[in-house]
Structure 1
């Protein structure tokens, strides 16, 4: 599993209805994308759920590198986004854990992305085992749709990502509204610890 995200931070007075309309128009294009586990079309609005910014920030869990590369480098898809908003930095994390949530069959309304550094001197096995345990804990919470953990070994950053069927998530981090969920390969994302 590979996690990926890019963000477009928009002006404070930006009409976020433009993003909602865009997602409604194009989101279905990834509903059957080969190699994609899950794509969440995420939005933060200034002043909503404590957000200091307006932001469009899709988050992906990929089953295959080929699917991810086809999205990034193929005709259309990501190129359309770049044409509309400019070229963003694309963060990528290697998967540590994935779990279906207690509310796995529900439509998500909220996503939470928590990021934190892997401390200098950390014992990797213990730190990553704790991240797996946190993924399991989040997935077991009432209203959890799914939970995942991944790490960027260049920046030494851990990301915990979770989707929720209600707007009272039991996770810490940046809170996003979920506009659409494309999940053509969700059933093929490997469960549990990824090593």
Structure 2
């Protein structure tokens, strides 16, 4: 499994209804995309306390072929044509869990990025992170949660979908406009190695 996200920063006075309409009319196009575990169509808005207006979709790919088909196909070209070519961040998945609210429609998402501790053995630091992730994914209101790592920058990424529109404080927060999850059942559970 691979995690992927790109962020499109929008002007402070940008009408975010444009993004909402875009997702409402196009979001369903990935509802049956081969290889896609899930795509959360995410936004952040300054009027809700975010430092930026932003469109920042997050993907969990069940198969790398799906990610490649998307990036080199017409789906991503639509983003490039409308907004320019964004930097696409990607991480290798370490763990995935369904939460207690797994059947709920996610309304919010949180993202936490943190460096692996300097001097720590990578295997030990990752094992600790996977154990912490399993505990956090069992919290009330969690729909699903993924833990991933970027070994180039030694950065951990925790991404969680929440049933409530107001997730706990402490992490970067997003609104979920739509969830495409054609192969969510193929994402596996627990530690992914």
TM-score greater than 0.5 by the shorter chain: yes
- How far apart in 2 are the matches of 1:93 and 1:72? 15
Q: Secondary structure at the match of 2:46?
A: coil
- How far apart in 2 are the matches of 1:120 and 1:39? 32
1:25 aligns to what? 25
- The runs of 5 or more residues in structure 1 that have no matched partner are none
Given that 1:40 and 1:59 are in contact with CA atoms closer than 8 Å, whether structure 2 keeps it comes out as yes
- The runs of 5 or more residues in structure 2 that have no matched partner are none
Given that 1:138 and 1:171 are in contact with CA atoms closer than 8 Å, whether structure 2 keeps it comes out as no
How many aligned positions are there? Answer: 193
Q: Secondary structure at the match of 1:130?
A: helix
Give 1:167 shift: 2.8
2:128 aligns to what? 130
1:86 aligns to what? 84
Report the TM-score, using the length of structure 1 for normalisation.
Answer: 0.96
Given that 1:5 and 1:58 are in contact with CA atoms closer than 8 Å, whether structure 2 keeps it comes out as yes
1:68 aligns to what? 67
- How far apart in 2 are the matches of 1:168 and 1:77? 30
Given that 1:8 and 1:55 are in contact with CA atoms closer than 8 Å, whether structure 2 keeps it comes out as yes
Give 1:134 shift: 2.4
When structure 1 is superposed on structure 2, of 170-179 and 13-22 the one drifting more is 170-179
- How far apart in 2 are the matches of 1:130 and 1:8? 32
Q: Secondary structure at the match of 1:38?
A: strand
Change (3 A) 1:7 1:14: same
- How far apart in 2 are the matches of 1:102 and 1:24? 27
Change (3 A) 1:47 1:122: farther
1:2 aligns with 2:38: no
- How far apart in 2 are the matches of 1:138 and 1:169? 13
- How far apart in 2 are the matches of 1:172 and 1:148? 17
Q: Deviations over 1:51-104 (max 9, x none)?
A: 110000000000111000000012x10001110110000000000000001000
Given that 1:38 and 1:185 are in contact with CA atoms closer than 8 Å, whether structure 2 keeps it comes out as yes
- How far apart in 1 are the matches of 2:87 and 2:101? 32
Give 1:168 shift: 3.6
2:177 aligns to what? 179
Alignment of 1:89-128 (within 5 A): 89-128=87-126
CA RMSD of the aligned region, Å?
1.1
Alignment of 1:7-18 (within 5 A): 7-18=7-18
Q: Secondary structure at the match of 1:148?
A: strand
Moved >4 Å (runs of 4+): none
When structure 1 is superposed on structure 2, of 35-44 and 114-123 the one drifting more is 114-123
1:154 aligns to what? 152
